[in-house]
Structure 1
Amino acid sequence: MRTSGGICMIQTEKISVHDQLHQATANLINQTQIEVSLVEPINEISALEFFKKTQLLGDRIFWKNPTGDMQIAGVGAHKRLKPKNGEDRFQSIREQWEAYLETCSLPDESVTGTGPILFGGFSFMDHIDQTDDTWEAFASGEMILAKWMLTEQDGQTYLTHHATIDETTNVNEIANRFTEMKKVLSKPIMEEALPKMQSMNDQFTYEHWETLLNEAIDTIREQALEKVVLARKTDVLFDHKIPLAEVIERMIDKQTNSYVFVIEQENDAFIGATPERLVQVKGNELLSACLAGTTARGKTEDDDEMLAWQLLNDKKNREEHDYVVQMIKQSVAPYVESFDIPDTPVIYPLKSLQHLFTPVTATLKNDATILELVKQLHPTPALGGEPRDKALQFIDEKEPFDRGWYAGPIGWLDANFDGEFAVAIRSGLITENQATLFAGCGVVKDSDPQAEYEETRIKFIPMLDALGGTQ
């Protein structure tokens, strides 16, 4: 989808900031104000360093894709787009973004990840339980256009600034903002030590978990459900404030092949390292993935291969995996010209876990946008269950906490509605010196509560490891 026509100036790195501003002010003859997205190449700083050095400038965002060839860090909010209501939240964000982009004049060339980029996410359910203050700072969805953004893309680095100008604006003052920001970015980084874990408190006992799992299994055997995904959470207390940048750094180092994300909201930060892509759109190409079925990594190479073989041949895990593959295909079929999906899964290895993995590639019809695809795909059976509506009702009624943004879609989109969203698992909510961590598992008719409890335990490990804790 391509949006054009209007007054928002979005430039590439080939034109200086002063020249970009002069071009923008020329349009003020017929317009009262102009939105500008100013882009300048910048050297010798990474997205992580930008994140570290801007912690006093406002709420921050961070994103890294699994290959690491695209990383984005942002600070401050030039625009915040929130849905008007939960049920229409994806359409609401789309309409607000289109309204903003209708004022824009897009160039023929742009660098992916620069210019106007929305970053944010959505809650797992289409609402957040306001009686649970865990997610008090988060809405059912929010996409943010950062004031400042640093993008690493294919070995190049760009600094983007968003501003509004009118006839009273001093364009030299706006250009000087780049000079001032570079001064901030030139200051040395003050490294912070990870805190020590003091306590870990599960939200409900194994006995409560077993009761919930058995109720779910009975419901499935009565054929009211085929599958439901249940989660548990744990609160981890540390001896001092958790430094986000250091946690990100450990995630990048240890959780290779994963998306790393952070979104700060006031005193809270939602953070995670997820291996699971929900959907990526590049022009008319759709990329999605089925990542369902989990086991641990082995202590030796032989153990690792044996665990992988057992996972590939495990009836329960293959059944769970096939649910997700079929659902992804059915959900996006109305928007797709053709599919390319392998017949059998392969192993997707991570540091602590390994998963069954099937990539999904498709050619899109011209009228498809990434937000429509996110709406159709979320939640997959790997995160909700099947049938979707009945599984969500069971989760809403039976789980003793609000998932908030855990397992929801998180990611970015650009002015062309290209972008990428991941599934916010292997994640937690950090507030000062406390981290609330989440982990889930798929329940089918042959599930064993003890085995599922162990699966959720090992799914806590990536976040605990990043925080410096142990289990």
Structure 2
Amino acid sequence: MLSQAISSLTDKLKQFNFQSHSDPIIQLSVSVKAIPVIAWLAAQPIYPRIYWKGRDTEEEVSAIGSCKDFFYEDAVDDNQLAMAYQEQRALTNNQDVRYYGGVAFDRTTESWPEFGRARFVLPRVELRRSGSEYKLLVNLNCQDNDKENERSQAIDCLTSLASPAPLPPPNKVNLIGRSDRPDHYHWSELVNKVTHPKFIKDTPKVVLSRLTQLEVNEVINPWMLLACWQGRNPTSFQFGFQFSPDSTFISCTPERLYRRRQRELFTEALAGTTTRGLTKEEDKMLATQLLEDSKNSHENQLVKEHIVDALTPLSNYVGAEESPKVFKLSHIQHLHRSIRAELKPGVDDFQLLLALHPTPAVGGLPKEPAMNFIRQREGYTRGWYAGACGYFNKYESEFAVAIRSALIEPGRINLFAGAGIVSGSEPEAEWQELENKLTTILSILTEL
């Protein structure tokens, strides 16, 4: 029972002897019986609310509250982030202490309120599932706060925890309006600019994206929406960040930025897209066409080469699959190559973020001219869309690229999709690719 776990963890907190523990960051935990993790999160009265589920790991996390919050709303130097990160890593040797958060797609420009250009949170309370085992954890920040005050605040937080309630039943959303930025006409203009021989000679790839805003006249429960999305694409990363009641960023993304276990790194080149077939035979035919398509193969090759080049100075070894495979989602399929590296001693996560993000799959090549084009021409603020979201600690970290994603606000659902523009790209085909990438989330909203 959850109440028994809360009582047991509260007793642990009351009896904890700070003198016997030298780390400034302290974590206590107890086992708990199975709880629906996302429904538990949705029931809590405390913010922030954070959800994380890995793509290929049997792990699921819901976290609430904050005992440490790194929030960079204005211009932030990546060296500042790296220094703050290294400082936190040194505060504890506990491998279970994690900071959850993300960095915006472009940290040189204005980002979304509350999310900022970068934000990482050490939660107050976490519910973690690993396979069939569940744990309730509480974190104490004794670096910045008085120890007894931390104990008191942690006990208050545990006392306020609510039992999980069923998520509200899904209902069809009444869409009262839609707008796209850039619109169809301006999209065609942008694609034609990027594919012009003079431009593409020096900048062979730009990933253009679109903001689709859906106006609604009802309250959308973001955790219900994420749970439905999760059901459609169980092999994707799923995560959500809700720093206040009025704004929630959720994502069900197929793309890993990287996973690090000490000095071992796993990443991938995910670029090149087609739809799924209505029958097994059609699906197989489309996959074969994708593998044989020169435009998509070239796009994936560019991404692979960039990642290998970026990792080489930071690694003793980098290896990548020579040929791409097909990665299937509910409505689309991608070309995918696995990449593995052994990092040099001392390489940290912010060096990796600097080197790998934004990837050519969401920015372009070369990085700076592609990013400049996006800043000047795309016409909206990407914020955390196509940013890097995940967690880190001293021993491991995992970040996903926040593509298939949505920002839920009062009266509005903001959806995002992008397409890699390279030589041979055609405006109409790329616009249709954007539509294909929104198919899953739009079908959830309109079929509920």
TM-score (norm 1): 0.86
The alignment partner of 1:457 has SS state of helix
Provide, for residues 297-340 of structure 1, a one-character-per-residue CA deviation record: whole Å limited to 9, x for no partner: 01111111111111000010000000000111011111212223
Match of 1:92 in 2: 80
Q: Deviations over 1:161-186 (max 9, x none)?
A: 123464655958855754x256x22x
Q: Distance in 2 between matches of 1:142 and 1:273?
A: 20
> What is the CA distance between 1:466 and its match in structure 2?
3.9
Residue 459 of structure 1 corresponds to 437
Superposed, 1:184-263 pairs within 5 Å as 184-185=162-163, 188-189=165-166, 191-194=168-171, 195-218=173-196, 223-263=201-241
Please provide the CA RMSD for this pair: 2.6
Residue equivalent to 2:35 = 45
Say whether 1:264 aligns with 2:264.
no
* Separation of aligned partners in 2, 1:192 and 1:59: 24
Change (3 A) 1:302 1:167: closer
One-letter amino acid of the structure 2 residue matched with residue 120 of structure 1: G
How far, CA to CA, are the matches of 2:252 and 2:167 in structure 1?
24
| Structure 2 residue 71 is the aligned partner of structure 1 residue 82 | yes
Q: 1:272-306 CA distances to partner (integer Å, 9 max, x unpaired)?
A: 11000001001221000111000000111111111
Note if contact 2:269-2:337 (Cα within 8 Å) is conserved in structure 1.
yes
Partner of 2:302: 323
- The 5 Å alignment of 1:258-337 reads 258-266=236-244, 267-337=246-316
Give the SS at the match of 2:102. strand
CA distance in 2, matches of 1:172, 1:437: 41
**Structure 1 moving runs of 4+ over 6 Å:** none
SS of equivalent residue, structure 2 residue 56: coil
Structure 1 residue runs of 5 or longer lacking an equivalent are: 1-14
1:84 Cα offset (Å): 8.2
- Compared with structure 1, are the counterparts of its residues 439 and 329 closer, same or farther at alpha carbon in structure 2 (3 Å cutoff)? same
Among 402, 419, 425, which residue is 1:447 paired with? 425
The separation in 2 between residues aligned to 1:222 and 1:150, in whole angstroms, is 49
How many angstroms apart in 2 are the aligned matches of 1:97 and 1:403? 24
Taking a change above 3 Å as real, the CA distance of residues 18 and 391 of structure 1, as seen in their structure-2 partners, is same
The 2-side partners of 1:164 and 1:224 are apart by 49
The letter of the residue matching 2:334 is H
Give yes or no for contact 1:220–1:226 (8 Å, CA) kept in 2.
no
After superposition, what is the alpha-carbon deviation per residue over 1:143-195, rounded to whole angstroms, capped at 9, x for unaligned? 111111111123211111123464655958855754x256x22x543524343
Change (3 A) 1:341 1:215: same
Partners of 2:341 and 2:352 lie apart in 1 by 12
CA contact (8 A) 2:47 2:243 kept: no
Q: Please, which moves more after superposition, 287-296 or 35-44?
A: 35-44
Contact (CA 8 Å) 1:47, 1:73: kept in 2 or not? yes
Aligned position for 2:118: 141
**Partner of 2:4 in structure 1?**
none
Greater alpha carbon shift after TM alignment, 380-389 vs 95-104 = 95-104
Q: CA deviation at 1:219?
A: 5.5
Q: Specify the alignment match of 1:4 in structure 2.
A: none
Q: How big is the shift at 1:49?
A: 2.4
Give aligned pairs, total: 436
Is 1:122 equivalent to 2:103 in the alignment?
Answer: yes
Judging changes above 3 Å, is the alpha-carbon distance between structure 1 residues 16 and 139 closer, same or farther for their aligned structure 2 residues?
Answer: closer
> CA 1:174 to 1:264, structure 2 compared with 1: closer, same or farther past 3 Å?
closer
Cα distance change on mapping 1:101 and 1:292 into 2, 3 Å? closer
Check the 8 A contact 1:220/1:445 in 2, yes or no. Answer: no
CA, structure 1 residues 164+369, in 2 after alignment: closer, same or farther (shift >3 Å)? closer
Question: What fraction of aligned residue pairs are identical, expressed as a percent?
Answer: 27
Q: Is 1:437 aligned to residue 415 of structure 2?
A: yes
- Are 1:163 and 2:153 counterparts? no
Q: Is 1:25 aligned to 2:18, yes or no? A: yes
Cα deviation, 1:113-165, whole Å, max 9, x if unaligned, reads x3x211111111123336xxxx2332111111111111112321111112346
Closer/same/farther in 2, CA of residues 427 and 24 from structure 1, 3 Å limit: same
1:469 offset after TM fit, Å? 5.9
Write the distance in 2 (CA, Å) between the matches of 1:170 and 1:424: 33
How far did 1:394 drift? 1.0
SS in 2 for 1:248: helix
Check 1:141–1:59 CA distance in 2 against 1; reply closer, same or farther (3 A cut): same
**1:43 to partner: Cα distance:** 1.2
1:6 alignment counterpart: none
- Comparing 116-125 and 366-375, the one that deviates more: 366-375
Amino acid at match of 1:82: F
The more displaced of 143-152 and 42-51 is 42-51
Which whole-Å deviations, capped at 9, do the CAs of 1:228-268 have from their partners, x for residues lacking one? 11111111122311101211211221012100111113221
TM-score by length of 2: 0.90
SS in 1 for 2:124: strand
Shift of 1:356: 0.3
Relative to 1, partners in 2 of residues 1:143 and 1:26: Cα closer, same or farther, differing over 3 Å?
Answer: same
66, 69, 77: which one aligns with 2:58: 69
> What SS does the aligned partner of 2:327 have?
strand
Compare 65-74 and 193-202 and name the one that shifted more.
193-202
Letter in 2 for 1:409: A
How many angstroms does 1:17 deviate by? 6.2
Residue 46 of structure 2 is aligned to residue 57 of structure 1: yes
Gaps of 5+ in 2: 1-7
Q: Secondary structure at the match of 1:265?
A: strand
Shift in CA distance, 171/452, structure 1 to aligned 2, threshold 3 Å: closer
State whether residues 60 and 264 of structure 1, in contact with CA within 8 Å, keep that contact through their aligned partners in structure 2.
Answer: yes
- For 1:9, the equivalent position in structure 2 comes to none
